[in-house]
Structure formats: C-alpha cells, structure tokens
C-alpha cells in the first residue's frame, strides 16, 4: 500500500506493522517516526548488516516481550533488497504491539523490496522526496521569526541551497546561526557563509567526540591541525553541550541495563553507525553525575566566551585540555 508522507496518520498500527520509508529526506522521515511513535517508546535501531550477522537472534528479540516492554518500536536503517527474505518471514509472524520501520535510501521502481510494500495491503510504503525551496523557505522563515533573528532573503536562500532539499540539514544550519546570534553579533552574509561551512572546514564533531572519549593525543592533533576562529569557539561549546546531553541519556540507560550494545541500539535519536565505537568509549568513561558537572562547566565556559570573545580560543582550548583525561571523572 502506497501512502504519501503527509498521510502518515492514516496508518493503522493494529494492522500495519511493517512500514517502508525510502528517499533522501531524513528530516521528514524523523518527523514521521515521531508521529508514529506516539507513546514515546524507546526506539530499537538496527543496521541491516547487524541483522544479517545474527538473523535468528533478531527475530527472537522482536517476538519476545518482557514484563516491562509490552510494545516495541524498531527502525532498520539502510534497508535494501537483501532484507526481502527476512520481511517475508516476519509477515508470517505475530507482530501485535510491534512496529518495524525500514528506512531506505532511494529505491528505484525495479526494487523488489519497494514492489512488495507497494502491492501488499498490510504493508505500507512511503516515499520521502526532497523538500522544495518554497517549503524550506517557509520553515526557515518560521524558525528565524520565532527566534527573533533577522537576516535577508538572499542569506536565507544561501542556507537553503546548502541543504539539498533536507529539512533536518536546514534545521542544523539554522541552529548554527541561532547560536552565533546569541553572542550579540550582527549577522551578515560573510558570517553566514562561514557558519554553514564550519563542519566542512573544521572537524568540530571529531574534536568533541575525542574529548568525551578522552583521547588526549587525538585531541592535541586536531587542535594543532585546525586554525579555529573566535566564531568556531561558540560552535564548539554548543556542539559539546548537545553531545554531552545525549551522552548523559546514554549513560543513565547504561547504568540501568548494564548492556552497552542494548544501550546503543535503543538510543533516540539513533547513534550513527560510524560513531558507535567512540560512543561506547564515552559511555565507559563517564558517569551521569560527572556529565552533569561537565554540562554546567560548559555553560559557564560559554558565558565566559561570550563576555570575552577575543580570548575565546584560549578559553576553549584550556577547557578541552583540562577535560581530556580520566582524572576529570574522579
């Protein structure tokens, strides 16, 4: 059965337990997942390759129900035609109280997986096409209006052109602008050009990840290889805070279930497959109480940077180096 992305509420979760998303619009897909996951269940996230490594175990995990887990919400990422045989098996199983979403990239018309989901009335197939510029422009306008940020239409178009029709990318770019504006600086075209290219020019994400994993040698190497600007320092602190808050949720979950793989697979938002190993390192390194202290210290550092922007590089470097060893967690 084929539905359009705006018809997501037509899905009957008592009947439609297997749902296929395909297309490049990850932002719109995430919004659809939030709508379907109305009870805010923990999302069990799997890579297709992970499932093939132990298919029987995956099926057993789906069908088993614990006393504390009466419903399951599962997302299979990067699903391809290779998973078709498994879907045929699952169709024959009792999937009551279980929703399984297959999240695929672009699937051509000849795809056997897409064909199965389109033709079977109990299965749901939803394409997620890129947003057009008009839709993205409206989303950007509403975001900037709510945040009381004023930039020109030409600058909005500059940001939209970076997003390749994906609203999630647009939101990430707009948040960079929001963080910069909180510093009290006037936003012009030059600032925006720098901001929307920050991740490409400087490996901020890698720097923050390695600091949380306390890989000191790698941290020093990244700092030496990158010529960070004052504006970058705001983005580093914001990225640090966002990642620390995600780590806090993971650390709390790990304290409860004592299972690192379950902690990672159940994470919401899901942990990107390339980040799983370093995320495990971070979870092992940090306890929840220490992450809370870290977030407070980050907030204080951010305030100091905003008050003394010309000294921001020294402030952020000192902070990073002082939190790059295990002694921080004692």
Summarised one tens digit per residue, pLDDT across range 228-287 is 777 778 778 888 888 898 899 899 989 888 899 888 888 876 777 778 899 999 999 999
Same fold across 5-127 and 201-329: no
CA–CA gap between residue 153 and residue 158 (Å, rounded): 9
Residue 190 has a CB neighbour count (10 Å cut-off) of 8
| Mean pLDDT over each residue of the chain, to the nearest integer | 85
Q: What is the pLDDT of residues 50-94, one digit of tens each?
A: 888 888 888 888 888 766 667 889 999 889 999 999 999 999 888
Structure confidence by residue, pLDDT tens digits, 23-55? 988 888 988 999 999 888 888 888 888 888 888
Please check the confidence at residue 125 and state whether its pLDDT lies above 90.
Answer: yes
Residue 328 has pLDDT above 60, yes or no: no
Among 133-142, 160-169, 233-242, 252-261, which stretch is predicted with the lowest mean pLDDT? Answer: 160-169
Report d(CA 155, CA 181) in Å as an integer: 14
Q: Would the pLDDT of 120 be above 60?
A: yes
- Sketch the domain layout of the chain as residue ranges: 5-127, 133-196, 201-329
**Which CATH architecture best describes the domain 5-127?**
3-Layer(aba) Sandwich (3.40)
Is the predicted pLDDT of residue 181 greater than 90, yes or no? Answer: no
Match domain 201-329 to its CATH number in 1.10.260.40, 1.20.272.10, 1.20.140.10, 3.90.1150.10: 1.20.272.10
Average pLDDT over residues 121-142: 90
């Amino acid at each position: 059965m084929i539905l359009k992305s705006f018809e997501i509420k037509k899905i009957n979760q008592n009947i439609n337990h297997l749902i296929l998303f395909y297309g490049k619009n990850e932002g719109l897909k995430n919004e659809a997942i939030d709508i379907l996951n109305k009870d805010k269940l923990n999302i069990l996230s799997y890579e297709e390759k992970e499932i093939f490594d132990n298919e029987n175990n995956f099926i057993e995990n789906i069908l088993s129900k614990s006393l504390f887990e009466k419903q399951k919400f599962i997302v299979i990422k990067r699903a391809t035609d290779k998973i078709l045989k498994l879907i045929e098996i699952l169709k024959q199983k009792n999937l009551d109280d279980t929703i399984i979403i297959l999240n695929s990239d672009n699937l051509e018309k000849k795809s056997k997986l897409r064909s199965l989901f389109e033709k079977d009335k109990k299965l749901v197939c939803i394409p997620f096409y890129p947003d057009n510029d008009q839709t993205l422009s409206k989303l950007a306008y509403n975001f900037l209006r709510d945040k009381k940020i004023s930039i020109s239409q030409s600058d909005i178009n500059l940001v939209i052109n970076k997003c390749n029709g994906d609203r999630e990318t647009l939101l990430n770019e707009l948040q960079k602008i929001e963080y910069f504006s909180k510093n009290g600086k006037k936003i012009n075209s030059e600032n925006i050009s720098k901001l929307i290219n920050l991740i490409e020019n400087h490996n901020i994400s890698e720097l923050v990840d390695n600091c949380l994993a306390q890989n000191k040698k790698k941290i020093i190497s990244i700092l030496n290889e990158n010529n960070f600007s004052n504006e970058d320092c705001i983005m580093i602190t914001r990225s640090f805070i966002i990642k620390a808050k995600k780590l806090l949720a993971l650390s709390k979950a790990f304290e409860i279930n004592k299972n690192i793989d379950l902690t990672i697979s159940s994470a919401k938002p899901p942990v990107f497959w390339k980040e799983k190993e370093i995320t495990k390192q971070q979870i092992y390194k940090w306890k929840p109480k220490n992450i809370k202290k870290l977030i407070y210290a980050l907030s204080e550092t951010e305030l100091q940077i905003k008050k003394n922007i010309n000294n921001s590089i020294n402030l952020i470097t000192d902070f990073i180096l002082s939190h790059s060893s295990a002694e921080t967690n004692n």
